[in-house]
Amino acid sequence: MTRIGDTPPAWDERTQLVTFLDYARDTVRAKCEGVSAENARKALLPGSPLMTLCGVVNHLRWVENYWFQVVFLGEEDQSPCTDEDPDREMRVAVDFPLTQLLDEYAEQSARYRELVAGTALDQRARRTLRDGLQPDLRWILLHLIEETARHNGHLDILRELLDGTTGD
């Protein structure tokens, strides 16, 4: 697992961004370790019936897909989400084993790590966002660090409610 506390302050910007994103990704996996298949599908927050471990992992997978494949590379959106069901990736996640979702997330992350390694941080996305801006790769990485870290907080809460497990 990537350890942020071990990060030398002299690393270049790309290494720092990738290290922080990998740390957040690794934390997702750590939060899910040892969870039963049944517990991975449980929604414990009354106001958030789609908030399950499976749902959060699948959401993060599709968020990265959106920002790298759709926005940055300009490819067609293959997400399970629709205008009628914008949270479908979280709804359908309970149909898959958590281990499969984590493996797919890890495989996809490895592909994006290669993309980032070979692309300038100032490279602009091929798609323009609704606000008329074209983010660069640096902004996308920062956004994914924020998004993944925020959802790690959700995983913390779910895990503690499921079985009392707490941690970093």
Tell me: pLDDT of 7 over 70. Answer: no
Spatial separation of the C-alpha atoms in residues 27 and 160, rounded to whole Å:
15
Mind listing the pLDDT tens digit for each residue in 71-130?
Answer: 999 999 999 999 999 999 999 999 999 999 999 999 999 999 999 999 999 999 999 999
Q: pTM higher than 0.75 for the full model?
A: yes
% of the chain surpassing 70 pLDDT = 93
Question: And the tokens for 133?
Answer: 């801006």
Buried b (16+ CB within 10 A) or exposed e, 137-151: bbebbeebbebbeeb
Nearest to 32 by CA among 64, 10, 55: 55
pLDDT at 163: 93
CA angle 61, 62, 66 (to 5 degrees): 125
Q: How high is the pLDDT of residue 11?
A: 82
**Rg of the chain over all Cα atoms, to the nearest angstrom:** 16
Question: What is the predicted pLDDT for the residue at 3?
Answer: 60
pLDDT at 40 over 90: yes
pLDDT, position 166: 86
For position 1, what pLDDT does the model report? 63
118 by DSSP, 3-state: which?
A: coil
pLDDT at position 122 is 98
Half-sphere exposure of 42 (CA within 13 A, CB side): 15
Cβ-in-10-Å burial (0-12, 13-18, 19+) of 165 comes to middle
Q: Which residues, other chains included, contact 20 with Cβ-Cβ below 8 Å and sequence gap of 6+?
A: 4, 145
Q: Please provide the average confidence, as pLDDT, over all residues in the chain.
A: 94
With cut-offs at 50, 70 and 90, classify the pLDDT of residue 5: low
Cα-Cα end-to-end distance for the chain: 12
**Domains contained in the chain, CATH given:** 4-163 (1.20.120.450)
